[in-house]
Amino acid sequence: MFATPDWSAARKALARWYRQAQRDLPWRRTAEPYPVWVSEVMLQQTRVAAALPYYQRFLERFPTVEALAAAPEQDLLAAWSGLGYYSRARNMQKAARQVVAQGGFPRGFAELRALAGIGDYTAAAIASICFGLPHAVLDGNVIRVLARLLADPGDTGSTRTRRRLAAAAQEFLDCHSPAAHNQALMELGALVCLPRQPDCPRCPLRPHCSAHAEGRVLEFPVKLRKQEKVEVALNVLLVERAGKLLLWQRPAGEGRMAGFWELPSDSALPGAIVHEELRRFRHTITHHHHTVCVFRASIARAPRGFVWVARPRVDKLPLSTIARKALGDAP
């Protein structure tokens, strides 16, 4: 590992850069915990551009934490459908009910951390952005920037390295301006210190960066344990009749996907007549890489377990992300 950066000088350089480079994003125009929380959960799994329409629709549908707490689960899943990681949406509703029962959002890190589904990252984000508390965030972007700044040789999948980077993030934190500092560091990771093509010449932290000084930027962060990819081929059928679409619903007991609606697969509809291919796309869920082919198909009679759903109703159902992409309306 190279020398410890001059944190004070790096802090100032980062703050200067953020003042002129930050993107104008709707969740940055508020310090209210509810919209900040919604944005943080969405951004853990989705790029900013893809999250924007979901964020806006979600807040229109559930404008307050009370509205989220009281929402029927099917409405909640429908609003989340296309974003994946549905346990996060369910946990958000559990946490919303805890918040309502407590009479509002707790204002301390430990109390935020005790809410359903809120881990260190989200608790630190809400505590710093909404309440000005000095808690550093550590997400994938921050890990990458810090691992490079320090040329840290540790495997970022290991708890030990994470603890070391969390301590460095805390040391780097501007305790007078934790909200701006945390967001600046994440913004730098999102816009400049990119995984494969970091733009070092434009980086305000370049004078403090060990990986850059050593000419070893792409060696960091170190990731040793890579899970093997599993390739899955899937054919789904778009069967329409008189303005209705053939769907099936995953039953209770199917874990995180229970209650979601799907298009039929070709193997589930052996009697279908398959026509032309409509589209083809890739979809990744953790280490499973799906190649999905969507075919138009027709069928004389829908077998048991399938339902004809009027097209305008389909948009209001919680569809799985694969079903939504197959219909052409998910990123």
Give me the active site residues, please: 40
Distance CA 185, CA 137 (A): 9
11 binds ligand SF4 (CB under 6 A): no
Distance CA 197, CA 217 (A): 10
297 binds ligand SF4 (CB under 6 A): no
Q: DSSP letter string over 177-226?
A: SHHHHHHHHHHHHHHTS-SSS--GGG-TTGGG-HHHHTT-GGG-SB----
168 binds ligand SF4 (CB under 6 A): no
Inter-residue contact 124 to 137 (CB < 8 Å): yes
Nearer to ligand SF4, 38 or 145 (CB): 145
Query: Taking the complex as a whole, how short is the minimal distance between the CB of residue 205 and ligand SF4, in angstroms?
Result: 4
Q: Which of 137, 143, 141 is nearest to 156 (CA)?
A: 143
Element (DSSP H or E) covering residue 58: helix 48-61
Q: Which of 127, 133, 232, 234 is nearest to 175 (CA)?
A: 133
Among 193, 239, 323, 327, binds ligand SF4 (CB under 6 A): 193
Cα dihedral: 306, 312, 313, 319 (round 10): 70
Do the strands 230-241 and 244-249 form a parallel or antiparallel pair, or are they unpaired? antiparallel
Query: Taking the complex as a whole, how short is the minimal distance between the CB of residue 171 and ligand SF4, in angstroms?
Result: 16
327 binds ligand SF4 (CB under 6 A): no
Query: Taking the complex as a whole, how short is the minimal distance between the CB of residue 27 and ligand SF4, in angstroms?
Result: 24
Q: Which of residues 214-233 bind ligand SF4 (CB under 6 A)?
A: 217
Among 70, 175, 190, 200, binds ligand SF4 (CB under 6 A): 200
Q: Which of 241, 245, 292 is nearest to 265 (CA)?
A: 292
198 binds ligand SF4 (CB under 6 A): yes
Stretch that binds ligand SF4, among 16-24, 134-142, 207-215, 274-282 (CB under 6 A): 207-215
- Reading the block at residue 223, the tokens are 């990731």
Nearer to ligand SF4, 210 or 249 (CB): 210
Among 43, 203, 322, 323, binds ligand SF4 (CB under 6 A): 203
Nearer to ligand SF4, 214 or 329 (CB): 214
Nearer to ligand SF4, 192 or 323 (CB): 192
Among 38, 209, 236, 297, binds ligand SF4 (CB under 6 A): 209
- Reading the block at residue 161, the tokens are 């390295």
206 binds ligand SF4 (CB under 6 A): yes
Q: Which of residues 135-164 bind ligand SF4 (CB under 6 A)?
A: 145, 148-149
190 binds ligand SF4 (CB under 6 A): no
Nearer to ligand SF4, 217 or 247 (CB): 217
Residues 6+ apart with CB under 8 A from 291: 231, 232, 233, 234, 280, 281, 282
Q: Which of 160, 92, 157 is nearest to 126 (CA)?
A: 92
In the numeric block, the tokens 């003042």 are attached to 19
Residues of this chain that interact with ligand SF4 (CB under 6 A) are 145, 148-149, 192-193, 198, 200, 203, 205-206, 209, 211-212, 217
